[in-house]
């Protein structure tokens, strides 16, 4: 039961990131619309607002990836996967997560820390007049996102273990979300 | 050599069905660390940053959002159904409508991920509803979604212009006719298929409730107006200089929300749900890009790029042999390395030879662009195929998509050959 | 000297096969290799391989690469004082600036800026005077700059912003469409050699002469640990190779610009070449001096660099006037 609860708790964290991303997306729409309107109608351009566009856009896709792992929206080649039993799927996901996903996201996350820290230590800002300060904030989204992917990966491992122990098959009946 | 082995290992491992993005990332990690050590991955944050600062890619979430709102408010469905009805008894009407909508999207973006996904969201459910053959529907969407590569504005043409030293405007101009011929070829193909096999793309069934022909036309017009207005906003804002192509995708998103208000389909729940769906799909697209960039990093830092260079340097030095072999080489490489790499690494090796042989560089550039567009469709590593799979309902299998794109790949090759043989017709003699 | 072969890696900001800019590091590597009898081997990775055109500073600092080829002003957001070692609006011409770098204290000031970051920076080739950019409308007065939407990054953008212009960010892939459709009114790129490749001459009528980048100097970056590891003779060879290839790039740029200008005038006689009127130049100069005074008041090292540049410029310009300018002026109207 502990593992099932832990899996749910970790899952809630990823869902929270999805919610954050969704709100950032709506802000991005408003941001770009505002910039176009100001430039065209009022002949006014703000470099800071223009830079905010890519800050928002990159936070959306980076924070969205751990959310995507949680809700199973990452695309698979299913020539084989769709034909196997639930237990076999759980094995594939378990091994895939341990061998591919976890090492990859942890290593990138680890180098992401140094990357963001460098920007913090230098006090890096935008090089353009009126641009956004504190580049370390957006750069630190990289390690945050990749360690969050590891959290989602951990939830996936638990999900596979729970499925293999036969205590819960949650997550395997809802692969590939529908639109 | 490691790069080649890595490629085949990834190919086999992908078949197990673990998510594509992380299979790429994991394989890159294992081979990269084995050959070069962990430190290679210190490059990853820089590679990720290059996507973060690439504001052209911002069109991906924004167009996806527009597509999802149009889908959730059923405005897209009404548009496609109306267009399908307008074509009346013509079978394949929905597929042709899809191609036309894809053309309009292509004229506002050059980002394949944005087009394929938006099209997958807008037209796949409708074609499924009317019992289209899965593979025909998927092939049509993938192919229409890659039109953005050849129809200006197009990223690949801009990059090729830069690499080959040809003004971008000249390439945009030269790409128009080949683009339209390609679209024409798609439509003719749909007509032939539906004539040979009516089951593949049934006409929208006629029933009494649909009223007279005149009423149908009126209904169709009514349904076309809102999405058409949206298209006009998107294209019009680019054309009049109100917005850049990327910004126009945000205007499209805002416009879709306004339409939902006008048609009383708006709710905050719909807005948040659409945003959440958009995040899922966007994350899927970018996760693949993250995995692929790790993969291409491992490929080039373990010497893969050197091998490719060597092969190309041994191409024959006589006009037709050179052109045919270089086209084949690009097509084959397109199976597994991305088009930016091809443009920057391969093209500069070929360009001086082409120049020496007196080949018209604009013509050469269009041939390459057409060829690279095809590489988005070629299994197993065609990005369009992954993107569509990512948004398709689970009843659509990978095999349906693979089967569906084959005829379109052949069509593209046919058009490519026609440009090769009849440059005068295309104004590039 | 020992027979050991030193293999260095270098990251350049440019994409593979980028003309002129990319030739400088390749010449450097070739010269170093030959002078050292093969003991110094430098391999160059382009931006399309490392994907970090504006990350070269970090890549060399962390030791991922031993060397870099880039431009100092790109690091302005990381280390503000790096701004002054590329070119400055209304600043020195190329020979004047080389005089400052090699004999007027410029190199040691550059060392002072880069040393704390474990880096060495050397001049890396000069483009010569860059053009002021492509404009959709004529600039006849300072009022014409009001609300002018221009793609002009960095310090020069700051100068124009002070006069009411609106520096605008546009992705390079969308620049052509943006200028053609008048989403922006103007943009600056490089000069005839690279501008014509972008096709701007087909969509904007006015090509203004330069004011903001009179002598753009590129840069060789070297990781200090790498430098320390090299034996004395290889250091000297490297230093010489960098200096020779930089000088060569300046000459190559000069040659290519002359060629391209001739071609451009011949093939596109409709391009209207303009110089900003005196009133506009004066306003820009004033804004520039005010901004420089601000920078100098904020940071003592910035003040030291700016004072050194101003002093050197004052002295060198007198000589430029009496030598080159007097010579050129005296040639005017000879044919009448
Ligand atoms: Na396009
Ligand atoms: Na492919």
Enumerate the residues of chain A whose CB falls inside 8 A of the CB of residue C77.
124-127, 131, 135
Mean pLDDT of B298-327: 79
Residue C1 confidence (pLDDT): 54
Q: Which of C79, C157, C169 lies nearest to residue A122, judging by beta carbons?
A: C79
What is the C-alpha to C-alpha distance for residues C114 and C134, in angstroms, rounded to an integer? Answer: 34
Residue-level pLDDT at C300: 96
CA angle, residues B51, B54, B55, in degrees to nearest 5: 130
Q: How confident is the model at residue B87 (pLDDT cuts 50, 70, 90)?
A: low
CB contacts < 8 A (A, B): 226
What is the mean predicted confidence (pLDDT) over C218-227?
97
In a domain, B362, yes or no: yes
Is it the case that residue A165 has pLDDT exceeding 80?
Answer: yes
Whole-number percent of chain B with pLDDT over 70: 95
pLDDT at A178: 35
- Ligand nearest B153 Cα, by number? 1
Smallest CA–CA distance from A96 into chain B, residue:
B18
Alpha-carbon distance B253 to C204, whole Å?
31
> Three-class SS of residue B213?
helix
Kindly indicate the confidence band of residue C336, based on its pLDDT and cuts at 50, 70 and 90. low
**CB contact at 8 A, B334 and B343:** no
Most confident of B291-295, B319-323, B345-349: B291-295
Which residues from chain B sit within 8 angstroms of residue C151, using beta carbons? none
- How far apart are the CA of C244 and the nearest CA of chain A, in angstroms? 30
Which chains have 3 or more CB–CB distances shorter than 8 Å to chain C? Answer: A, B
**pLDDT per residue as tens digits for the range B372-428:** 888 888 887 788 888 898 888 888 888 899 999 999 999 999 999 999 888 888 877
Stretch C183-192: mean pLDDT: 86
Longest CA span, chain B: 72
Phi and psi at C188, nearest 5°, equal -115, 140
Domain assignment present for residue B311? The answer is yes
Residue C217 has pLDDT above 70, yes or no: yes
- CA dihedral over C46, B336, A71, B274, signed as positive or negative: positive
- Measured between beta carbons, the chain A residues lying within 8 angstroms of B243 are 36, 40
Q: Taking the C-alpha atoms of A154, A159, A160 and A165 in order, what is their torsion angle to the nearest 10 degrees?
A: 130
Closest to B50 in 3D by CA, of B275, B297, B240, B253: B297
B427 touches chain C (CB under 8 A): no
Residues with a beta carbon under 5 angstroms from ion ligand 2: B 334-335, 375, 378, 381-382
Measured between alpha carbons, how far is C312 from C320 in angstroms, rounded to an integer? 12
Query: Mean pLDDT of all residues in chain B?
Result: 84
Q: How many of the other CB atoms lie within 10 Å of CB of A125?
A: 17
Better-predicted residue by pLDDT, B320 or B344? B320
Statement: residue A177 has pLDDT above 60: no
> DSSP state, C85?
G
Residues with CB under 5 A from ligand 1 (ion): B 106, 110, 148, 151, 154
List chain A residues with CB under 8 Å of B257. Answer: 29
- Mean pLDDT, to the nearest integer, of C28-43? 96
Question: Two tokens at B91?
Answer: 């079978």
Give the list of residues 6+ apart from residue C240 with CB closer than 8 angstroms, or none: C31, C35
Judging by DSSP bridges, how do beta strands C206-208 and C133-135 pair with one another? antiparallel
Dump pLDDT digits (tens) for C73-87: 999 999 999 999 999
Give the model's pLDDT for residue A176: 43
- Report pLDDT for C133: 92
Alpha helices in B15-92 (DSSP H): 20-36, 44-52, 59-72, 75-86
Mean pLDDT highest for which of B80-84, B86-90, C82-86, C264-268? C82-86
What secondary structure does DSSP assign to A35-72, as a single string? HHHHHHHH----HHHHHHHHHHHHHHHHHHHHHHHHHT
What confidence tens digit (pLDDT) does each residue in A35-44 have? 999 988 888 8
DSSP single-letter state for residue A97? I
Instruction: Dig out the tokens for C186 from the structure.
Output: 């103007």
Q: Calculate mean pLDDT across residues B195-205.
A: 78
Per-residue pLDDT, averaged over C119-143, amounts to 93
In a domain, B218, yes or no: yes
The answer to whether the Cβ–Cβ distance between B43 and C50 falls below 8 Å is: yes
Average pLDDT for B32-45: 90
Residues near C35 by Cβ (< 8 Å), separated by ≥ 6?
A: C237, C240, C241
B427 belongs to a structural domain: no
| Residue-level pLDDT at C175 | 83
Q: What's the helix, strand, coil split of chain C in %, to 5? A: 55, 15, 30
Q: Within an 8 Å CB–CB cutoff, is residue A113 touching chain B?
A: no
Secondary structure tally for chain C: helices H, strands E: 13, 11
Residue B411: per-residue pLDDT: 94
Q: Is this structure's pTM higher than 0.90?
A: no
Contact: C198, B167; criterion CB under 8 Å: yes
Instruction: Enter the ipTM.
Output: 0.90
- B336 falls within a domain: yes
> For residue B8, with 0-12 CB atoms within 10 Å meaning exposed, 13-18 middle and 19 or more buried, which class applies?
exposed
What pLDDT, on a 0 to 100 scale, did the predictor assign at position A174? 47
Residue B426 located in a structural domain: no
Q: How many domains does chain B have?
A: 1
For residue A28, pLDDT beyond 60: yes
Total H helices, total E strands in chain B: 20, 0
User: What number of CA atoms fall less than 13 Å from residue C5's CA on the CB side?
Assistant: 7
Query: pLDDT at position A82, please?
Result: 79
Question: Cα C222 to the chain's mean position, in Å?
Answer: 18
Query: pLDDT grade, residue C198 (50/70/90)?
Result: confident
Least confident of B73-77, B126-130, C162-166, C324-328: B73-77
Return the pLDDT at A179.
34
Question: Higher confidence at residue B429 or residue A134?
Answer: A134
Q: How far is A119 from chain C (nearest CA, A)?
A: 7
Q: Is the pLDDT of residue B317 over 80?
A: no
B429 occurs within a structural domain: no
SS3 A45: coil
pLDDT of residue B404: 93
Which ligand has its closest atom nearest to the C-alpha of B145?
1
HSE value, Cβ hemisphere, 13 Å, CA-based, for B34: 11
- Residue C197 or residue B127, greater confidence: B127
Position B379 scores a pLDDT of 81
The 3-state DSSP class for residue B396 equals: coil
Query: What are residue C122's DSSP bridge partners?
Result: C220
Is a pLDDT exceeding 60 seen at residue B370? Answer: yes
Q: Mean of the pLDDT values across residues B76-85?
A: 76
Per the structure, the complete domain to which residue B205 belongs is given by 2-421
Question: Which residue in A has a C-alpha nearest to residue C57's C-alpha?
Answer: A118
Average pLDDT over residues C46-65: 91
* Mutation for testing the A interface, residue in C169, C173, C178, C290 having most A CBs under 10 Å: C169
Residue B70 lies in a domain: yes
């Amino acid at each position: 039961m502990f593992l099932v609860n832990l899996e749910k708790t970790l899952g809630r964290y990823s869902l929270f990131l999805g919610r954050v991303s969704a709100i950032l997306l709506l802000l991005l729409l408003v941001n770009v619309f505002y910039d176009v309107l100001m430039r065209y109608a009022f002949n006014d351009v703000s470099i800071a607002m223009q830079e905010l566009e890519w800050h928002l856009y990159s936070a959306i896709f980076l924070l969205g990836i751990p959310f995507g792992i949680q809700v199973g929206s990452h695309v698979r080649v299913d020539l084989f996967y769709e034909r196997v039993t639930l237990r076999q799927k759980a094995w594939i996901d378990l091994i895939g997560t341990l061998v591919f996903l976890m090492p990859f996201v942890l290593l990138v996350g680890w180098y992401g820390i140094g990357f963001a820290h460098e920007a913090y230590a230098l006090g890096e800002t935008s090089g353009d007049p009126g641009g956004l300060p504190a580049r370390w904030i957006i750069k630190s989204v990289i390690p945050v996102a990749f360690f969050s992917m590891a959290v989602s990966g951990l939830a996936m491992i638990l999900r596979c273990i729970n499925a293999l122990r036969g205590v819960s098959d949650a997550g395997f009946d809802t692969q590939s979300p529908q639109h | 050599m490691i790069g080649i082995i890595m490629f085949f290992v990834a190919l086999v491992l992908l078949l197990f069905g673990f998510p594509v993005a992380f299979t790429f990332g994991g394989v890159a990690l294992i081979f990269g660390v084995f050959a070069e050590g962990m430190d290679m991955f210190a490059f990853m944050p820089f590679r990720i940053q290059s996507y973060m600062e690439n504001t052209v890619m911002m069109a991906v979430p924004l167009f996806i959002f527009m597509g999802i709102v149009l889908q959730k408010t059923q405005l897209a469905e009404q548009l496609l159904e109306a267009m399908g009805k307008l074509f009346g008894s013509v079978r394949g009407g929905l597929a042709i409508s899809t191609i036309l909508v894809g053309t309009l999207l292509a004229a506002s973006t050059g980002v394949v991920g944005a087009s394929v996904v938006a099209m997958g969201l807008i037209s796949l459910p409708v074609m499924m509803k009317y019992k289209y053959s899965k593979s025909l529907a998927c092939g049509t969407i993938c192919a229409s979604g890659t039109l953005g590569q050849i129809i200006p504005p197009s990223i690949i043409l801009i990059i090729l212009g830069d690499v080959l030293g040809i003004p971008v405007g000249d390439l945009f101009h030269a790409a128009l006719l080949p683009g339209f011929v390609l679209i024409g070829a798609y439509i003719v193909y749909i007509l032939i298929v539906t004539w040979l096999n009516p089951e593949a793309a049934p006409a929208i069934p006629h029933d009494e409730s649909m009223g007279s022909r005149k009423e149908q036309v009126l209904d169709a017009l009514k349904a076309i107006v809102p999405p058409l207005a949206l298209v006009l906003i998107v294209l019009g804002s680019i054309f009049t200089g109100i917005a850049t192509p990327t910004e126009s995708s945000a205007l499209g998103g805002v416009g879709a929300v306004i339409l939902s208000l006008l048609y009383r389909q708006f709710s905050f729940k719909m807005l948040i749900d659409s945003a959440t769906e958009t995040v899922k799909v966007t994350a899927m697209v970018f996760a693949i890009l993250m995995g692929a960039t790790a993969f291409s990093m491992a490929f080039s830092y373990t010497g893969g790029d050197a091998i490719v260079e060597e092969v190309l340097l041994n191409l024959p030095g006589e006009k037709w042999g050179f052109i045919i072999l270089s086209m084949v080489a690009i097509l084959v490489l397109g199976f597994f390395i991305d088009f930016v790499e091809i443009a920057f690494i391969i093209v500069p090796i070929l360009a001086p030879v082409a120049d020496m042989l007196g080949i018209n560089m604009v013509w050469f550039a269009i041939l390459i662009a057409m060829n690279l567009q095809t590489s988005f469709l070629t299994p197993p590593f065609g990005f369009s195929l992954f993107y569509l799979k990512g948004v398709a309902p689970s009843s659509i299998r990978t095999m349906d998509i693979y089967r569906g794109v084959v005829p379109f790949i052949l069509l593209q090759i046919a058009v490519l050959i026609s440009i090769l043989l009849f440059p005068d017709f295309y104004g590039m003699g | 000297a020992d027979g050991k072969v030193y293999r260095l890696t270098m990251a350049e900001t440019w994409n593979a096969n980028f003309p002129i800019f990319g030739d400088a590091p390749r010449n450097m590597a070739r010269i170093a290799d030959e002078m050292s009898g093969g003991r110094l081997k430098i391999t160059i990775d382009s931006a399309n391989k490392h994907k970090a055109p504006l990350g070269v500073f970090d890549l060399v600092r962390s030791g991922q690469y031993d060397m870099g080829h880039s431009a100092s002003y790109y690091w302005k957001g990381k280390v503000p004082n790096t701004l002054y070692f590329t070119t400055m609006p209304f600043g020195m011409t190329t020979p004047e600036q080389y005089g400052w770098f090699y004999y007027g204290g410029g190199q040691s000031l550059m060392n002072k800026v880069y040393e704390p970051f474990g880096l060495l920076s050397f001049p890396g080739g000069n483009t010569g005077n860059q053009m002021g950019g492509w404009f959709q409308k004529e600039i006849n007065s300072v009022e014409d700059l009001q609300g002018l939407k221009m793609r002009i990054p960095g310090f020069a953008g700051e100068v124009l912003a002070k006069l009411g212009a609106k520096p605008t960010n546009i992705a390079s892939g969308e620049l052509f469409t943006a200028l053609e459709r008048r989403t922006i009114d103007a943009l600056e790129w490089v000069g005839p050699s690279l501008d014509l490749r972008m096709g701007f001459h087909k969509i904007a009528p006015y090509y203004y002469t330069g004011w903001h980048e009179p002598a753009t100097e590129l840069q060789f970056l070297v990781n200090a640990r790498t430098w320390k590891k090299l034996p004395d003779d290889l250091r000297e060879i490297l230093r010489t190779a960098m200096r020779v290839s930089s000088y060569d790039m300046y000459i190559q740029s000069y040659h290519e610009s002359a060629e391209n200008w001739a071609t451009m005038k011949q093939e596109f006689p409709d391009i209207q070449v303009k110089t900003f009127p005196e009133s506009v130049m004066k306003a820009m100069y004033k804004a520039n001096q005010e901004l420089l005074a601000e920078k100098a008041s904020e940071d003592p090292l910035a003040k030291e660099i700016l004072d050194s540049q101003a002093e050197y410029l004052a002295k060198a310009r007198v000589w430029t006037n009496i030598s080159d300018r007097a010579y050129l002026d005296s040639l005017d109207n000879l044919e009448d």
